[in-house]
């Protein structure tokens, strides 16, 4: 993509050399006589985090093979160390044909080594990719006219601000619309025994680090950095455009305002003191056991929690509400990056056409429905103009998305499930986008993990009072010194170059 700086992943030299030695980049279009006739079988490298492995002989795999015309076998390392296993598998004698890469930076590194197939000559075999994937997402993985990956892209509205609706009802409270109203709700959730167990054991707000405070920071127009354990595919620093320049969100005076408010709420006992150190399992357990009533999270989270909670208390009600309005009328949740990851084809594949047709299928309406919602007549049915799930959907829900490589959301939003309604609701909230999205830089690669950890640590200490907010400028100085300034300079150069070419 012109005007964009590509970052190198810095993979092990031995691994890269072994990968490159086994790969010869195929830049030419396939022969016309065989174009589109290849049916595999191909090898897929992919693990769907959060889902169990699909059972053998399942109907979804059969539907994928029938619909795409391609047979496939799947290698699935544990999701917890997927990023570590991918380069090892790539360097082995059992390389995949198609692979979902753990990071976008890795894609450009493999491409630089000649390990990836240029997919541009095969786009004619991928009409659904061309139809559903935004041009700017395809451009992101295009370098010197060559397309190195098919993007896994998403719309930015993926988060919800969640509150216990049954607690509001029990305490005769209205849905909060402003920070002041939210504060009153948090006080009531903390002090007035909303779960009715007679014990003072509830907090207003909890979750998993800074992600869970999204709506509070958003009331000041800010996106806080992610906690260190958050997925590496997510941006650790969001930038905002001010006066023609991009500046990091977490170093702004508005961020200090949000931290000041949160520090006051913490002193009042409204915030769970363990939310900056607990695991996701503990977060979920606390929510199910009625230990807190407000949080922000990815759209699939609260629907799963509500299903679990209703098994013991059918009166549980979770509401997805607009994030609170701040002192200057601002509100919002973080907007997710346009390109989450990418799917590549190895240069030495014997099945380039089959690989292209395979990826195209997942971007079709049929492929999206089959890989996210299951099979018509087994997992879902059309009734009175609606798409309704059937009992088998719930039985297979633990593995049903095992094969969902891509996210073609248009057909998915038509399904009538609580989870899909959660996804629809996410479109109602304002989002704060990263002004540096799709600007890949060397500094980001070198410093983002460290700056993510630095911000998470400082912010947690500011909120909990372990470090006074008078030290905010020290945080900013350390942020800049440890690579933040270099990163800011690089994205501004990219930003100005892009503006100049418009």
328-332, long-range: CB < 8 A, 24+ apart: 328/220, 328/221, 330/218, 330/219, 330/220, 330/221, 331/215, 331/218, 331/219, 331/429, 331/430, 332/218, 332/221, 332/429, 332/430, 332/431, 332/432
- The tokens describing 223, both together, are 């996106």
Compute the distance between CA of residue 218 and CA of residue 161 in angstroms, rounded to an integer. Answer: 11
Confidence label for 24 from pLDDT (cuts 50, 70 and 90)? very low
Q: Tens digit of pLDDT for each residue in 64-107?
A: 999 999 999 999 999 889 999 999 999 998 999 999 999 888 99
Query: Are the C-beta atoms of residues 378 and 61 closer than 8 Å to each other?
Result: no
pTM, two decimal places: 0.84
Farthest CA pair distance, the chain: 77
Q: Tens digit of pLDDT for each residue in 387-430?
A: 999 999 989 989 999 999 998 777 778 888 777 888 889 899 99
Confidence label for 291 from pLDDT (cuts 50, 70 and 90)? very high
Q: Which residues of 132-155 are buried (b: 16+ CB within 10 A; e: fewer)?
A: bbeeebbbbbbbeebbbbbbbbbe
Percent of the chain with pLDDT over 90: 74
Q: What is the pLDDT of residue 38?
A: 73
Does pLDDT of 5 surpass 80? no
Domains of the chain: 13-154+339-409 (3.40.190.10), 159-334+435-501 (3.40.190.10)
Confidence label for 3 from pLDDT (cuts 50, 70 and 90)? very low
Mean pLDDT, the chain, integer: 90
Query: Are the C-beta atoms of residues 334 and 222 closer than 8 Å to each other?
Result: no
Q: How far, CA to CA in Å, does 438 sit from each of 44, 114, 493, 501? A: 26, 23, 13, 16
Tokens 């759209």, residue located: 299
Q: What is the pLDDT of residue 235?
A: 57
Does pLDDT of 309 surpass 90? yes
Does pLDDT of 292 surpass 80? yes
Q: Tens digit of pLDDT for each residue in 382-391?
A: 999 899 999 9
Q: What is the pLDDT of residue 23?
A: 53
Confidence label for 49 from pLDDT (cuts 50, 70 and 90)? confident
Q: How far, CA to CA in Å, does 461 sit from each of 249, 250, 276, 471, 472? A: 18, 14, 9, 10, 11
């Amino acid at each position: 993509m012109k005007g964009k700086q590509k970052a190198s992943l810095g993979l092990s030299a031995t691994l890269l050399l072994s990968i490159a030695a086994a790969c010869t980049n195929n830049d030419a279009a396939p022969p016309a006589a065989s174009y589109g006739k290849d049916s595999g079988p191909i090898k897929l490298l992919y693990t769907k985090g959060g889902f169990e492995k699909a059972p053998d002989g399942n109907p979804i795999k059969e539907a994928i093979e029938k619909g795409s015309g391609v047979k496939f076998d799947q290698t699935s390392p544990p999701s917890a160390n997927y990023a570590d296993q991918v380069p090892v598998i790539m360097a082995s004698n059992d390389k995949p044909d198609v692979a979902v890469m753990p990071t976008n930076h890795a894609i450009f590194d493999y491409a630089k080594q000649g390990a990836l197939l240029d997919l541009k000559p095969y786009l004619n075999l991928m009409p659904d990719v061309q139809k559903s994937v935004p041009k700017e997402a395809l451009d992101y993985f295009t370098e010197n006219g060559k397309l190195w990956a098919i993007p896994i892209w998403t719309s930015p509205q993926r988060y919800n601000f969640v509150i216990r609706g049954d607690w509001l009802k029990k305490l005769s409270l209205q849905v909060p619309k402003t920070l002041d109203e939210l504060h009153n709700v948090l006080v009531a959730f903390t002090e007035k025994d909303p779960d009715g167990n007679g014990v003072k054991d509830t907090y207003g707000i909890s979750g998993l680090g800074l992600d869970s405070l999204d709506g509070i920071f958003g009331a000041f127009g800010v996106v806080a950095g992610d906690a260190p354990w958050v997925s590496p595919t997510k941006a650790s620093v969001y930038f905002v455009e001010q006066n023609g320049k991009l500046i990091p969100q977490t170093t702004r005076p508005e961020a200090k305002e949000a931290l000041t408010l949160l520090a006051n709420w913490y002193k009042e006992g409204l915030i769970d003191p363990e939310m900056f150190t607990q695991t996701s399992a503990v977060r979920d357990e606390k929510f199910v056991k009625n230990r807190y009533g407000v949080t922000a999270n990815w759209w699939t989270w609260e629907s799963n929690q509500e299903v679990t909670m209703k098994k013991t208390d059918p009166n549980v009600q979770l509401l997805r509400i607009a994030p609170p309005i701040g002192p200057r009328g601002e509100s919002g949740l973080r907007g997710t990056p346009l390109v989450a990851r990418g799917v590549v084809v190895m240069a030495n594949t014997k099945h380039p056409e089959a690989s292209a047709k395979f990826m195209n299928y997942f971007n079709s309406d049929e492929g999206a429905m089959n890989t996210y919602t299951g099979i018509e007549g087994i997992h879902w049915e059309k009734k009175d103009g609606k798409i309704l799930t059937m009992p088998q959907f719930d039985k297979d829900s633990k593995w049903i998305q095992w094969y969902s490589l891509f996210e073609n959301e248009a057909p998915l939003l038509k399904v009538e499930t609580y989870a899909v309604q959660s996804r629809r609701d996410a479109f109602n909230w304002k989002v704060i986008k990263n002004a540096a999205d799709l600007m890949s830089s060397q500094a980001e690669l070198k410093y983002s993990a460290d700056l993510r950890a630095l911000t998470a640590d400082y912010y947690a200490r500011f909120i909990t009072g372990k470090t006074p907010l008078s030290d905010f400028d020290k945080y900013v100085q350390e942020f800049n010194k440890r690579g933040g300034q270099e990163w800011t300079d690089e994205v501004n150069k990219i930003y100005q170059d892009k503006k100049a070419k418009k």
